[in-house]
C-alpha cells in the first residue's frame, strides 16, 4: 500500500520548497516475539519467558519505552537486567535527531543478542502507521504513534496468549499527558521511575535513574542561588545584535570560582572573557557552549592568583554560603590590587550542554542514613555533583561514574545519578580505566563489524599484488625501533649506484591496502585517530592482526610497502625522487642500541652494517643543513620505566638516552614527510592533508628570556633561526646542564602542531622544522592522518583510485579537527599514565633526596625539575595550618625571596621526594626543601635506606 508524506523545507536562498515522499505500508513486518505463530519471522528476538521480579508487573511482559525515557534513562536501559524491550521506529528516529551519543548507545544495545531489544518498524506497518492530524504538534503525533503501536502489540500478542501464560505489553513514559491518554485507551502504562522501583530483585537500578523535573526540586533549597538562564530565542537575538558573545566555557583547574569563555572571532582572531564568582559562572560546566554578557569596564578584574579547591565536606547549601562569600571576597581583594584587568563578564544562558559521564569518588554525607551524597569528579574543572544512592557505604573508596541530570537555580550543585562502578581507587586497572575515560580515548574491543574486514588467514601476497608493485625483496632493507616494538611502520635501505651516487629508500607499511575507504574498519580508525601508548599498555588504532603482524615490517617476511626512493650524492643533495607501491623483505629488525653497535663495530662489514653506515653519514649532513636553515633542537625529558615481570609495577625510573641512530631514523622520516607533502600538494592543492606548526606569539617567550637574562645570557626570538642560533651558543661556565634546561623551557613556549586541509588555509609553515611544507606519511599503523596521505599519494601516482570524501576539502577539514583533538588527548593520557606510574614508583620508595633545578618561580612556591627522574614537583612555602615564612615575589626577575634567601630560575636545590596519598583521588608527588638551608622552612635530609636486593628487570 502506498501513502505519500508531504513536508516543506526552507532553501538556502530563503525560499520554501514542498517535498513529497512516497511511503510504503506493508503487511510483512513481524512482531519479533517467540510466542507468535502468526508472524513468519526467521529468528525471533523477544523471549517467551519475559519474567522479571516486579511488584507492579507480576506477569511476563515486554516493555515499550517512549522517546524521553530512552533519551534520559539510557544508563538504566543498558543494564543487563533490562531485557525484552520493543524499540519503535518512531522512538529510534526521534532519538537519532535529538542525541547522537544516546542513539549510538541504543544501537549498541539493539545489537547485543542477550539483551533481546527488538526494533519494530511501526511507521511502515499497515496497522500501526498514523498520519499527523491538522493542528497536531510533531511531539503529540509521535506520542500517539507510540500508543497506537503499543495497542497493536497488546492485541496481536493476545491471540498467542495460551502459549505465553498471560504475557502483556507495558508502555513506559514520564509524560503525564501521554500516560493519561494511554490509560484512557486501555493500555498498561507506568512512569519509568515507578516501574524501576518495583524491580525488587535489583534495587541498585534505582541509583541509575536520571532525575525527572519533579524530583529535581526535592533536592534543592527554596532560596534562589543563581540568576535565571535566558531562553534560547533571547540568546540568539542578543548574539545577533552583539549584546551577548557566544563561546566555550573553560573552568579553572586551580580556582573553582573562576573561569574563562573562549570566543572564536573571524579567522584566527579570538578573545577570552574572564568570569569570576558563583553568580557570574551561573551553572555553566566545563566545555559548555554559553552566552556571555560583558560587564561594564569599571567592573573588569584581573585573573586571580589564589588557589581555591572546592573540597570541603558535603554540607548543606546554606551552610556553605558564608564560606563561599569569604572566598569570593579574597578573590576580589587580590584582583583589585592588580592593574592587568581583562574583559570580564557573566553567563546569561546555556546554548548547548556538553555533559558526559564523569569519573570520580563519593563524599559520604555526614548525616546518618542519608541517601544524598556529593560526588567529587577526578577532573578539578567539573563541579561536585549531588546524587542519591542507597549503596553509598559500598561505593566509598571506589572510583565511580556519575552523569549530570540538571542544575536548578535553587541548587548549589548540579544533580545527577550513579552510572557504574569502575573498581577500587588506587588499583592499577581501575586507574587506567579512569585515565582512558577522562581523556575520551576510545578503548573498547574492536566490534565484529570492524573485524569482519580483516583479511582471512593464512594471508599471503598474491600474484595480482606482485604484478602491480615493484619487487624490492632483494634490497638490504632493515628497521630500527625502540626495544619491544611490534608495530613496525618504517624500514630503510641505502646502497651505492653504478654512477657513484647513493640510493636511499624509506619503506612504509602499506596500511591503506588493507583498510579501504568508508568500511567499518576505516570509520573506526578515523574515529580513534591514533594509537595511544601508555606505560605497559598500547591501545591500537587498527586491530592487532594488522598492527603487529600483516602491516608490521618484521624481518624475514614479505610485506607490502609504500616506498619513497631518492637518488642522492654524497653531500645529501637530492637528484631524483620517486614513489612506488612495493613488496619488501626486511633483513633485520634492530633496536636503536643494536644498530648503533653495528655502526660502531669496525670489525663488521656486512651489507646491513654498510647500509646503516651510509644512512648515518647522510643523516648527519641532512641534520646539519636543517639546523642551518633554522630548525629547532629542543629538549624534553622522556622517562622510561623498568617494569617487574610478575607484579607489573615500576621498579626503576630513568630518563631515555638518545643515540645517533635515533637521529638517523628521524632525519629520513622528516625527509620522506617533506617529499610526500610537496607531491600531494602539487597534485591536489585543495585537499592535501598537511601539518603545520605556528610560530609562537612573542609573549610566549617571556619566561625563556627572563630565565636566560638571570644568567646573563641573551636569547633572540625574532625567528626560528635566531632562536636556534642563540640556543646553540648559550653556555654558563661550571653549569653544564644550563643549555638543556634552556631548551626544556623553550619547548614549553611552543605552540601545538596541527593537521589541516590545504584548501582551507594559507599558512603552511612548520616553525619547529623550518620547513615551508610538511605532512605525516611515515606512521600509518598508528596515525590515521598518514593513511589519508597514503591514499592521496597513491592517487597522485595512479596506484589507486580516488573517492569523493578524499577530494572534499570540507570533509578533510572536519577530519583534521577530530585528528587534532585525538592527538592532543592521547598526549595528555600519556602524561597522566607517566604521572600515575611515577606515583607507584615513589609509593614503594618512601622518601628520597635528590638534586634538582628551579624551573619556575611562583608567588608562594618554586617548581623543581629532577633530571634523574625527568620529574617536576612543587615546593610550597606557605601552609594552611601554620604561619608561613616571609615571602617576597618579584615578577620582573622572576624571583622569590623566602626569609633571607632569594630563589632564581635554574638555581640548584636539594629536595626530599615522597608520595602524598592523603587525597586518594588526587595523589601527588610532594617535595620539601633540604638545601639551601632556610630556618623554619628546610627539612633535615632523611636517611635513605639502600634497597635490600636489586629486583629483576623486565627490559
* pLDDT reading at 951 higher than 70: no
Looking at the DSSP bridge assignments, the partners of residue 260 are 250, 274
**Is the CB of residue 531 less than 8 Å from the CB of residue 803?**
no
* Nearest Cα residue to 421 out of 404, 444, 405, 437: 437
* pLDDT reading at 844 higher than 60: yes
**Is the CB of residue 118 less than 8 Å from the CB of residue 153?**
no
Q: By 3-state DSSP, what share of the chain in percent is helix, strand and coil, each rounded to 5?
A: 35, 25, 40
* Nearest Cα residue to 833 out of 461, 445, 434: 434
* pLDDT reading at 902 higher than 60: yes
pLDDT score, position 648: 60
Q: How confident is the model at residue 948 (pLDDT cuts 50, 70, 90)?
A: very low
Lowest-confidence range among 220-229, 499-508, 688-697? 220-229
Q: How confident is the model at residue 783 (pLDDT cuts 50, 70, 90)?
A: very high
Please write down the HEC assignment for all residues of 195-228: HHHCCCCCHHHHHHCCCCHHHHCCCCCCCCCCCC
**Sign of the dihedral through C-alpha 279, 282, 286, 287:** negative
pLDDT score, position 947: 43
* pLDDT reading at 356 higher than 60: yes
**Is the CB of residue 579 less than 8 Å from the CB of residue 679?**
yes
Q: pLDDT tens digit string along 304-351?
A: 655 555 554 444 444 455 555 555 555 554 444 445 688 899 999 999
pLDDT score, position 721: 85
Backbone angles phi, psi at 82, to 5 degrees: -85, 110
Q: pLDDT tens digit string along 626-651?
A: 888 888 877 665 656 666 556 566 65
pLDDT score, position 248: 93
The number of C-alpha atoms within 13 Å of 285 and in the hemisphere containing its C-beta is 21
* pLDDT reading at 859 higher than 70: yes
Q: How confident is the model at residue 935 (pLDDT cuts 50, 70, 90)?
A: confident
User: Which residues 6+ apart lie within 8 Å of 506 measured at CB?
Assistant: 490, 491, 492, 563, 564, 565, 668, 669, 671, 672, 778
Which of residues 222 and 775 earns the better pLDDT score? Answer: 775
**Sign of the dihedral through C-alpha 272, 278, 281, 285:** positive
Q: How many CB atoms lie within 10 A of CB 32?
A: 21
Burial call 475-507: b when 16+ CB within 10 Å, e when fewer: bbbbbbbeeeeebbbbbbbbeeeeeebbbbbbb
Burial call 635-671: b when 16+ CB within 10 Å, e when fewer: bebebbbbbeeeeebbbebeeeeebebbbbbebbbbb
* pLDDT reading at 952 higher than 50: no
Mean pLDDT of 418-443: 90
pLDDT score, position 337: 46
Q: pLDDT tens digit string along 152-171?
A: 999 888 876 545 467 889 99
Q: pLDDT tens digit string along 488-545?
A: 999 999 999 999 999 999 999 999 999 999 999 999 999 999 999 988 889 999 999 9
Strands 258-264 and 245-251: antiparallel
d(CA 739, CA 581): 44
pLDDT score, position 7: 60
Which of residues 164 and 403 earns the better pLDDT score? Answer: 403
Mean pLDDT of 28-56: 85
Mean pLDDT of 895-920: 84
**What is this structure's pTM?**
0.80
Q: pLDDT tens digit string along 167-190?
A: 889 999 998 999 999 999 899 999
Q: pLDDT tens digit string along 368-380?
A: 667 788 999 988 8
Q: How confident is the model at residue 282 (pLDDT cuts 50, 70, 90)?
A: very high
Mean pLDDT of 811-822: 94
For the chain, what percent of residues have pLDDT higher than 90? 44
Tell me the CA end-to-end span of the chain in Å, nearest whole number.
70
Looking at the DSSP bridge assignments, the partners of residue 912 are 849, 928
Which of residues 60 and 270 earns the better pLDDT score? Answer: 60
Q: How confident is the model at residue 860 (pLDDT cuts 50, 70, 90)?
A: confident
User: Which residues 6+ apart lie within 8 Å of 187 measured at CB?
Assistant: 147, 150, 151, 154, 169, 171
* Nearest Cα residue to 375 out of 398, 355, 356: 398
Which domains occur in the chain, in start order? 7-209 (3.40.50.1010), 232-352 (2.40.50.690), 356-438 (2.40.50.700), 450-666 (no CATH), 846-931 (2.40.50.140)
> What average pLDDT does the chain have?
85
Lowest-confidence range among 237-246, 266-275, 839-848? 266-275
Lowest-confidence range among 13-17, 435-439, 524-528, 770-774? 13-17
Q: How confident is the model at residue 454 (pLDDT cuts 50, 70, 90)?
A: very high
Backbone angles phi, psi at 819, to 5 degrees: -65, -40
Highest mean pLDDT among 35-44, 481-490, 836-845: 481-490
pLDDT score, position 268: 57
Mean pLDDT of 789-802: 94
Strands 887-890 and 895-898: antiparallel
* pLDDT reading at 478 higher than 90: yes
Amino acid at each position: 500500500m502506498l501513502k505519500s508524506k508531504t513536508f516543506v523545507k526552507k532553501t538556502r536562498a530563503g525560499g520554501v520548497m514542498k517535498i513529497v515522499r512516497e511511503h510504503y505500508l506493508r503487511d510483512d513486518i513481524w512482531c519479533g516475539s517467540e510466542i507468535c505463530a502468526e508472524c513468519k519471522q526467521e529468528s525471533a528476538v523477544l523471549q517467551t519467558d519475559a519474567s522479571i521480579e516486579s511488584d507492579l508487573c507480576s506477569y511476563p511482559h515486554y516493555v515499550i519505552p517512549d522517546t524521553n525515557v530512552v533519551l534520559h534513562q539510557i544508563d538504566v536501559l543498558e543494564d543487563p537486567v533490562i531485557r525484552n524491550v520493543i524499540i519503535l521506529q518512531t522512538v529510534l528516529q526521534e532519538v537519532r535527531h535529538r542525541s547522537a551519543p544516546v542513539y549510538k548507545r541504543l544501537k549498541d544495545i539493539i545489537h547485543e543478542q542477550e539483551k533481546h531489544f527488538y526494533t519494530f518498524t511501526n511507521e511502515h506497518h499497515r496497522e500501526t502507521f498514523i498520519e499527523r492530524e491538522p493542528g497536531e504538534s510533531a511531539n503529540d503525533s509521535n506520542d500517539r504513534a507510540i500508543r497506537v503501536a503499543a495497542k497493536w502489540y497488546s492485541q496481536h500478542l493476545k491471540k498467542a496468549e495460551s502459549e505465553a501464560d498471560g504475557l502483556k505489553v507495558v508502555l513506559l513514559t514520564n509524560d503525564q499527558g501521554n500516560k493519561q491518554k494511554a490509560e484512557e485507551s486501555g493500555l498498561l502504562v507506568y512512569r519509568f521511575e515507578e516501574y524501576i522501583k518495583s524491580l525488587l530483585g535489583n534495587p541498585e537500578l534505582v541509583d541509575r535513574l536520571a532525575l525527572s523535573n519533579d524530583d529535581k526540586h526535592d533536592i534543592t533549597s527554596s532560596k534562589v542561588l543563581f540568576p535565571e538562564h535566558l531562553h534560547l530565542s533571547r540568546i540568539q537575538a542578543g548574539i545577533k545584535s552583539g549584546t551577548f558573545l557566544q563561546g566555550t566555557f573553560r573552568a579553572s583547574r586551580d580556582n573553582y570560582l573562576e573561569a574563562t569563555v573562549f570566543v572564536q572571532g573571524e579567522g584566527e582572531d579570538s578573545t577570552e572573557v574572564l568570569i569570576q564568582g558563583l553568580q557570574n559562572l551561573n551553572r555553566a560546566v566545563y566545555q559548555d557552549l554559553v552566552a556571555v554578557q560583558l560587564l561594564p569596564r569599571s567592573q573588569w578584574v584581573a585573573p586571580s592568583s589564589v588557589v581555591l579547591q572546592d573540597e570541603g565536606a558535603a554540607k548543606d547549601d546554606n551552610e556553605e554560603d558564608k564560606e563561599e562569600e569569604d572566598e569570593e571576597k579574597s578573590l576580589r581583594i587580590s584582583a583589585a590590587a592588580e592593574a592587568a584587568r581583562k574583559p570580564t563578564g557573566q553567563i546569561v544562558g546555556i546554548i548547548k550542554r556538553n555533559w558526559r559521564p564523569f569519573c570520580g569518588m563519593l563524599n559520604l554525607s555526614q548525616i546518618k542514613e542519608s541517601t544524598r551524597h556529593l560526588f567529587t569528579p577526578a577532573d578539578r574543572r567539573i563541579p561536585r555533583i549531588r546524587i542519591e544512592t542507597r549503596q553509598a557505604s559500598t561505593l566509598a573508596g571506589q572510583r565511580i561514574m556519575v552523569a549530570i541530570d540538571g542544575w536548578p537555580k535553587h541548587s548549589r550543585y548540579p544533580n545527577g545519578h550513579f552510572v557504574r562502578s569502575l573498581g577500587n581507587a588506587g588499583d592499577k586497572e581501575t586507574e587506567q580505566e579512569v585515565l582512558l575515560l577522562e581523556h575520551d580515548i576510545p578503548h573498547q574491543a574492536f566490534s565484529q563489524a570492524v573485524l569482519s574486514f580483516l583479511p582471512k588467514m593464512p594471508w599471503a601476497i598474491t600474484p595480482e599484488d606482485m604484478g602491480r608493485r615493484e619487487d624490492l625483496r632483494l634490497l638490504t632493507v632493515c628497521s630500527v625501533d625502540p626495544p619491544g616494538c611490534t608495530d613496525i611502520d618504517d624500514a630503510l635501505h641505502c646502497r651505492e649506484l653504478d654512477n657513484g651516487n647513493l640510493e636511499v629508500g624509506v619503506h612504509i607499511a602499506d596500511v591503506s591496502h588493507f583498510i579501504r575507504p568508508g568500511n567499518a574498519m576505516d570509520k573506526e580508525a578515523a574515529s580513534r585517530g591514533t594509537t595511544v601508548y601508555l606505560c605497559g599498555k598500547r591501545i591500537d588504532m587498527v586491530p592487532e592482526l594488522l598492527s603487529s603482524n600483516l602491516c608490521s615490517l618484521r624481518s624475514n617476511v614479505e610485506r607490502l610497502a609504500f616506498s619513497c626512493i631518492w637518488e642522492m650524492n654524497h653531500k645529501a643533495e637530492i637528484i631524483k625522487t620517486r614513489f612506488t607501491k612495493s613488496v619488501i623483505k626486511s633483513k633485520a629488525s634492530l633496536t636503536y642500541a643494536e644498530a648503533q653497535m653495528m655502526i660502531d663495530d669496525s670489525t663488521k662489514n656486512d651489507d646491513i652494517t654498510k647500509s646503516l653506515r651510509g644512512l648515518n653519514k647522510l643523516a648527519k649532513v641532512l641534520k646539519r643543513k636543517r639546523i642551518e636553515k633554522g630548525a629547532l633542537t629542543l629538549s624534553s625529558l622522556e622517562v622510561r620505566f623498568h617494569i617487574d615481570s610478575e607484579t607489573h609495577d615500576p621498579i626503576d625510573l630513568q630518563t631515555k638516552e638518545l643515540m645517533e641512530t635515533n637521529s638517523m631514523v628521524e632525519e629520513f622520516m622528516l625527509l620522506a614527510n617533506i617529499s610526500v607533502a610537496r607531491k600531494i600538494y602539487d597534485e591536489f592543492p585543495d585537499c592535501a592533508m598537511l601539518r603545520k606548526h605556528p610560530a609562537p606569539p612573542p609573549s610566549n617567550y617571556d619566561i625563556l628570556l627572563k630565565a636566560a637574562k638571570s644568567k646573563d645570557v641573551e636569547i633572540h626570538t625574532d625567528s626560528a633561526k635566531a632562536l636556534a642560533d642563540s640556543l646553540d651558543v648559550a653556555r654558563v661556565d661550571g653549569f653544564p646542564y644550563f643549555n638543556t634546561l634552556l631548551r626544556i623551557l623553550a619547548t614549553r613556549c611552543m605552540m601545538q602542531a596541527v593537521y589541516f586541509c590545504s584548501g582551507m588555509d594559507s599558512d603552511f609553515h612548520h616553525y619547529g622544522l623550518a620547513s615551508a611544507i610538511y605532512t605525516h606519511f611515515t606512521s600509518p599503523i598508528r596515525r590515521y592522518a598518514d593513511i589519508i596521505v597514503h591514499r592521496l599519494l597513491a592517487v597522485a601516482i595512479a596506484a589507486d583510485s580516488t573517492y569523493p570524501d578524499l577530494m572534499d576539502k570540507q570533509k578533510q577539514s572536519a577530519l583534521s579537527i577530530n585528528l587534532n583533538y585525538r592527538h592532543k588527548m592521547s598526549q595528555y593520557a600519556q602524561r597522566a599514565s607517566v604521572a600515575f606510574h611515577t606515583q607507584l614508583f615513589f609509593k614503594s620508595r618512601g622518601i628520597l633526596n635528590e638534586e634538582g633545578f628551579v624551573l619556575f618561580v611562583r608567588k608562594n612556591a618554586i617548581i623543581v625539575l629532577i633530571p634523574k627522574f625527568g620529574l617536576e614537583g612543587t615546593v610550597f612555602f606557605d601552609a594552611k595550618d601554620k604561619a608561613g615564612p616571609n615571602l617576597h615575589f618579584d615578577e620582573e626577575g622572576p624571583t622569590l625571596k623566602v626569609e633571607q634567601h632569594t630563589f632564581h630560575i635554574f638555581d640548584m636545590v636539594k629536595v626530599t621526594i615522597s608520595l602524598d596519598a592523603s587525597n586518594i583521588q588526587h595523589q601527588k608527588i610532594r617535595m620539601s626543601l633540604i638545601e639551601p638551608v632556610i630556618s623554619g622552612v628546610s627539612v633535615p635530609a632523611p636517611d635513605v635506606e639502600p634497597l635490600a636486593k636489586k629486583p629483576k628487570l623486565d627490559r
